Amino acid sequence: MSELFSKCRADAEAHARAEYPRESVGLVVSVRGKPAYVPCRNQSEEADHFILHPEDYAATEDLGDIIAVVHSHPDAGPEPSLHDIASHAASRMTWWIVGLKDGAATWHVMPAAGEMPLEGRVFVHGAIDCYTLVRDYYRQELGVELMDFHRKDDWWHNGESLYVDNFAKAGFVPVATPEPGDLIVMAIGSPTPCHGAIWLEGDVLLHHLYGRLSCREVYGRAYRECTTHILRYKGVLPTI
């Protein structure tokens, strides 16, 4: 889970402890790309179960984009129960579970049904490539839907410059030093800036290189030397 969520996680954990021994339930809402935890009422009469109050869901939806449903396991680990697995699949949303077994909080994240995990993906150009990972990261982690671009294989050798030509239109501005969630654009194996990665806390890149699985790795010298842009998402201005 991204560092952007540490405050959300701490708030959700505090809520889980306050509700103990009942299950807590809440929502993570993204307000212009900034996530916040919203505690909700649990309508369930049973101890080891939750039903999120529909009024709380509706009120949270008015604040921004709901990006995750959170609940607690007061006396167990965070692994989903059979009921959780079924309800998660039906909800088509991302779930976070916090387990409070033996007093320590541990987390389990269930990506929305149909979402690919961010790491360990196989590269398929134009379908599962570096920009697919960037878009999925922004949607899954920040609740931001970035625009998509049709791209032909090998576009970087054919006079196209997907990142440089489009970043302003997609809501990004160049910055000098990266912060978590920023987009690092690099010219790798080509004079054209052809590769995009997400910069994360700890000087780590989350990215997907051609011919490799998507992964996290240190933003080392070789990557710095081929970096052409550091871009920060500021949102897309409404078109008139």
Residues forming the active site = 130, 195, 207
Whether the CB-CB separation of 229 and 193 falls below 8 Å is answered with yes
CA–CA gap between residue 238 and residue 233 (Å, rounded): 15
DSSP annotation string for 85-149 = HHHHHHHTS-EEEEE-GGG--EEEEEPPTTPPPSSSPPPBTTTBSHHHHHHHHHHHHH---PPP-
Q: Does 19 bind Zn ion (CB under 5 A)?
A: no
Q: Does 84 bind Zn ion (CB under 5 A)?
A: yes
CA–CA gap between residue 207 and residue 129 (Å, rounded): 9
Choice between 25 and 142, CB closer to Zn ion: 25
Q: Tell me the backbone φ, ψ of residue 188, rounded to 5 degrees.
A: -115, 120
CA–CA gap between residue 139 and residue 25 (Å, rounded): 22
Choice between 88 and 139, CB closer to Zn ion: 88
Residue nearest to Zn ion (CB): 84
Q: Does 141 bind Zn ion (CB under 5 A)?
A: no
Choice between 108 and 151, CB closer to Zn ion: 108
Amino acid at 199: W
CA–CA gap between residue 22 and residue 100 (Å, rounded): 11
How many residues bind Zn ion (CB under 5 A)? The answer is 2
CA distances from 149 to 1, 13, 180 (A): 27, 39, 24
In angstroms, give the least distance from the CB of 83 to Zn ion.
7
In angstroms, give the least distance from the CB of 73 to Zn ion.
5
Whether the CB-CB separation of 92 and 112 falls below 8 Å is answered with yes
Choice between 37 and 155, CB closer to Zn ion: 37
In angstroms, give the least distance from the CB of 234 to Zn ion.
37
Q: Which of residues 22-81 bind Zn ion (CB under 5 A)?
A: 81
Choice between 6 and 81, CB closer to Zn ion: 81
SS3 173: strand
Which residues contact Zn ion by CB under 5 A? 81, 84
